[in-house]
Amino acid sequence: MKKFFFSFICCILWANWSLAQSKTYCNPINLDYGFTPIPNFSEAGRHRATADPLIVNFKGKYFLFSTNQWGYWWSDDLSKWNFVSRKFLLPHNKVYDELCAPAAWVMGDTLYVIGSTHTKEFAIWKSTNPTVDDWKIAVPAFEGAAWDPAFLYDDDKRLYLYYGSSNTYPLYGWEINPKTLQPIGERKELVRLHDDQHGWERFGDYNDNIFLKPFIEGAWVDKHNGKYYFQYGAPGTEFNGYADGVYVSDNPLGPFTYQKHNPFCYKPGGFIRGAGHGGCFKDNFENWWHITTGVVTVKNNFERRLVLFPTGFDKEGIMYSNTTFGDYPHTLPNGKADHLKSRFTGWMLLNYNKPVQVSSSLSGFAANYAVDEDIKTYWSAATTNKGEWIQSDLGAISTVNAIQINYADQDVDSMYLGKFTNIYHQYRLWHSLDGKKWQILVDKSQNRTDVPHDYVELPKPVETRFIKLENIHMATGKFAISGLRVFGKGKGNVPKSVKGFIVLRQEDDKRNAWLKWYPESGAQGYNIHFGIAPDKLYSSIMVYGKNEHYLKAMDKNTTYYFSIEPFNENGVGQRTEVIKVE
């Protein structure tokens, strides 16, 4: 009888979690990502992968398309995503990629979709009811034959195609007849990389550019206050510094001018890194957002996830994304917001590098990899069995607001190539004040959905010290966690402002600088803020456990301004005075 009563209560708790509407989100976005469908991309292990995303706001709903998902998602609120299974390629399209780097755009009451192709054999599809699999062929073969395509339907009812992906060729623009959906006239060369001037465009994880030319890809154009913002990704999708830059023009086909603040979306540090090849959209409250690609790149260079950042334009028309604390909880839109105001909740990471206990460990996958704030490393239990667990000590009683569970792919069965809609995770989260007496915090033992980056915002904050994650059922592979991340507020002191912050810019190559500061006692890490003016410190770099950083992402002929702030589980310390660096 007691066992029945306990199960009944757990079911009620789980139902309440399902019904509760989340007010916040946390990167990487929790989607039921498919597995790479390409066998030779997964020789080091089957794994989830996607990239090159876009979100289209169509009839008040958000439609999300990305690479190789055998379908797409839609949402009412950017929180709960509903997957629609759909293959857009026709039998004569003999490629693995379904779809690769898709394009989607709205004309009138219709949503249009096409994928990347070097051939002229891909169809353009259309739908007026895309919340279900209800699509028709708009054009059986698109003569544009575009790789990494993007479309802009302008307010004068003219349609434009932008595309390209290469470390040799530029990005192009082409006008498209909106009735025939075929090109008009000749394509036009629009943007090339200039890595000799722009440090962030150089190839390599640290922009070293030692053996390959950098790649430009992921064209995307938005119109704002009469200006056209041409966005592009560089220097390569496998790097932490993968970012999105922007050029600006008065005309949809240029000429385009490099924006002084670049890259406009940049996230080389933190748990999930990278912010390249994405697209912008407006929510239902007219707020701008940028959906883009974060990197994992452990089992393959193309192992990636999706990340979402608030975006805006300042009074001078400078476009930027706010990536500060970009993988901590942020608020979802519920009204028109000041784009200069951060959506960061202020909930800090409570268990960075704190003590961990586990039920078992697979050799080479240590327990502390689950709390080291690096999605590339992970702990794995020895089995996939029910009852395997990981326990995190917050170090002191703290206020817990939310928890993110990031599963890793370890020893996934070889059958997992492509999208599977019948897999799911089940778990329980427990909490304790002393590590001895435990109470249920979250019960998803009845869950039937695939949640590889599950994020749970608690309906009420909880005062506790220990968090335990108990496995009930794994979707695939062993019970493996790249990040058990507990968010809230500690009860100690916020770190003091950093002392001795200096920026040494290289004299003979202004793209490079060495940043150094005195370590601040009690700081988990630091946010380095920099930009093109004291009031435009729009770029940030999160650094954990170090008191130096080599920055090779600057533009050679730009004067920069820098400041730094420390943070820990108790909050964010005061920023230093702004330093001018010429």
For 163-183, the pLDDT digits (tens) are 999 999 999 999 999 999 999
- Residue 22's pLDDT is what? 65
Q: How far apart are CA 17 and CA 443, in angstroms?
A: 8
**Beta strands, E only, 8-135:** 24-25, 54-58, 61-65, 71-75, 82-85, 103-107, 110-114, 124-127
Taking the C-alpha atoms of residue 256 and residue 245, their distance in angstroms, rounded to an integer, is: 12
Q: What does the pLDDT average to over 5-27?
A: 55
Question: Cα separations (Å) of 223 from 245, 420, 536?
Answer: 15, 37, 21
Residue 551: which of 519, 504, 507 has the closest Cα? 504
- Position 193 pLDDT exceeds 70: yes
Q: Which residues pair with 571 in a beta bridge?
A: 568
Confidence of residue 21 (pLDDT cuts 50, 70, 90): low
Sheet holding 273-282, edge to edge: 273-282, 288-295, 304-313, 319-321
Closest CA to 234 of 173, 290, 189, 275: 275
pLDDT band at 9 (very low <50, low <70, confident <90, very high): very low
362 three-state secondary structure: coil
237-253 tens-digit pLDDT: 999 999 999 999 999 99
User: 500-526 burial string, b = 16+ CB within 10 Å, else e?
Assistant: ebebebeeeebbbbebebeebeebbbb
Q: What is the pLDDT of residues 98-145, one digit of tens each?
A: 999 999 999 999 999 999 998 999 999 999 999 999 999 999 999 999
Question: In sequence order, what E strands does 266-388 have?
Answer: 273-282, 288-295, 304-313, 319-321, 330-331, 348-349, 356-358, 379-380
Output the pLDDT for position 40.
Answer: 93
- Please provide residue 10's backbone torsions phi and psi, each rounded to the nearest 5 degrees: -60, -40
Residue 379: alpha-carbon gap to chain centroid: 22
Q: What pLDDT does residue 210 have?
A: 78
Residue 379 to residue 364: CA distance in whole angstroms? 8
Q: What percent of the chain has pLDDT over 90?
A: 93
Q: Half-sphere exposure of residue 109, counting CA atoms within 13 Å on the CB side?
A: 2
Q: Is 335 left (phi over 0), alpha (psi -120 to 50) or beta?
A: left
Q: Which domains are seen in the chain, by residue range?
A: 24-331 (2.115.10.20), 348-489 (2.60.120.260), 499-581 (2.60.40.10)
Tell me the average pLDDT across 363-367: 97
DSSP character string of 104-171: EEEETTEEEEE---SSS-PPEEEES-TTSS--EEEESS-TT--SS-EEEE-TTS-EEEEE--BSSS-E
pTM of the predicted structure, to 2 decimals = 0.95
